[in-house]
Structure 1
């Protein structure tokens, strides 16, 4: 296991290098002049040229990349062209709101999604199964921004129970987490159902039932653990998706997180912020996949990495 972890951690470096190259080229293909945006609409050409020189955008593209990569290797992602603050500081202030929102969304999505999936598998082709899969399809099909606005209209505008924007309290997490986790809960329910249906027909399940083991123990002890491996894989991918894909929800609820920061950075052509955030999202996916691989051995000790 230790050799596996070392190899995977060393594999981070070429992956992140490739991502850095692609991100650098992508942001420089975006239309618009960041120097003009940073200088302001009333600035003359001399001022714009001065700002462009200050940002290092007047240099050839290869020199810009070498400078960007060298600073990134030393943990320096530059200064935001929009706020004139260090990029690391900007991201650090926005990271925790996004992380807590993601955790809140993932917790209820896993609990509700797995409950629906298990119930649908146990009572397959009966009304709990039909109801659960109808809810799952609805959760996947309904757009996040539309669900967010619908929840705000009902629980904030009409009933006045919950705040529309984040105010730091637990109540402000309810609507964004429900909106963000709806699609994840739906996918979780479908994955759990499919995995449980397959496990329920295994020989060890029939043997446990033949021995007189209570059905509840058959489901929770024998079936759940063996059905978790594909579900855990999906959970890891969905957690990474929530961390990097909360942009729409954060914009709808005006949430002070990484998604909103990325939208503002793209609109202002803030290259350092865009590059740092995309690299951060890529690193999150790689680390989450590594954690998922390790969890395989925890769930099923027969699995060994070679």
Structure 2
């Protein structure tokens, strides 16, 4: 397994290089002039040109890319065009709120999603199954921004129970985590149900029942472990999605995280911040996929990794 992990880690290099080239080209195709935005709408053309030279945006595009890539090799993500602070400091200040929001959303979504999926599989085509799948379809279909505004209207504006913006206490995490995790819980419920139904029909389950093994032991000892592999795959992908895709939820709740930072960076055409965040999100997805592959071997020892 160690050889497999090391090989996968070395495989990160060409992938991140391709992502770096694509994101560099993408951000420079965005409409708008960062120098004009940094100088102000009332700045003279001479002032804008001075700002452009100061930001290094007056150089040819290949030369800008070489400078960007050289900084990456030295672990330097650059300096924000908007705040003049190092990009690493900007990301560091915003990372933990997004991380804890993601973890909170993932924990409750996994617990509720798996519980609904197992109940739907056990009582297939009965009222628990119909209720659970109705909730799952609703969770997938309801847009995150609409759910967030609805929760704020009910629990903050009308009832006054929960705050709407900020990340100062655990109460601030409730509404954003519910909004962010709703779709994940719905997907988790559907995957768990499908996986459980497939496992319940296997021969070893019928054999265990014929031997008189208690139903609860069959479900949680035999079925759960065998049904977890596709569910773990979905958990890993969804965690990466939450960590990098919470932009809408963070914008709705004005959450001080990476998603909000990316929105502000795009608005101001802050090239270094955009490039660093996209690279970070790409690295997160790759590492999460690696963790999921390793978990396969822990859940099912029959799986072997290639040499």
2:97·2:167 contact (CA, 8 Å) conserved in 1?
A: no
Alignment of 1:35 onto 2:59: no
Note the 1:202-217 alignment, pairs <5 A: 202-217=202-217
> Alpha-carbon deviation of 1:4?
0.5
Tell me, in whole angstroms, the C-alpha distance in 2 between the residues paired with 1:188 and 1:73: 39
Matched with 2:131 is 131
Task: Give how far 1:36 is off.
Answer: 0.5
| 1:52-91 deviation line (CA, Å, top 9, x unaligned) | 1111111111110000001011111111111111100000
**Could you list the runs of 5+ residues in structure 1 that have no partner in the other structure?**
none
Distance in 2, Cα, partners of 1:9 & 1:230: 23
- The normalised TM-score by structure 1 is 0.99
Q: Which residue in the other structure is 1:190 paired with?
A: 190
In 2, Cα distance between equivalents of 1:129 and 1:167: 36
Please say if residues 94 and 258 of structure 2, whose CA atoms lie closer than 8 Å, have aligned partners that are also in contact.
Answer: yes
Distance (whole Å) between structure 2 residues aligned to residue 210 and residue 274 of structure 1: 59
Q: Match of 2:256?
A: 256
Matching of residue 305 in structure 1 with residue 292 in structure 2: no
Task: Give 1:107-256 correspondences, 5 Å limit.
Answer: 107-256=107-256
| Counterpart contact for 2:167–2:256, Cα < 8 Å | no
Instruction: Deviation per CA, 1:109-134: give whole Å up to 9, x if none.
Output: 00000000000000000000000000
Matches within 5 A, 1:39-54: 39-54=39-54
Equivalences, count: 306
Residues 77 and 86 of structure 2 are in contact (CA less than 8 Å); yes or no, is this contact kept in structure 1?
A: yes
Residue aligning to 2:103? 103
- 1:211: Cα distance to partner? 0.9
- State the alpha-carbon separation in 1 of the partners of residues 91 and 50 from structure 2: 27
Q: Which residue of 1 aligns with 2:286?
A: 286
TM-score (norm 2): 0.99
Q: How far apart are residue 167 of structure 1 and its match? A: 4.1
Alignment check: 8 A CA contact 2:167 2:173 kept = no
Q: Using the alignment, how far apart are the partners of 2:166 and 2:134 within structure 1? A: 31
Give me the whole-angstrom Cα distance separating, in 1, the residues matched to 2:303 and 2:124.
30
- Greater shift, 269-278 or 52-61, is seen at 52-61
| RMSD (Å) for aligned C-alpha atoms | 0.5
Residue 184 of structure 1, CA deviation:
0.1
1:204-235 Cα distance to aligned partner (Å, 9 max, x none): 11111111111001000000000000000000
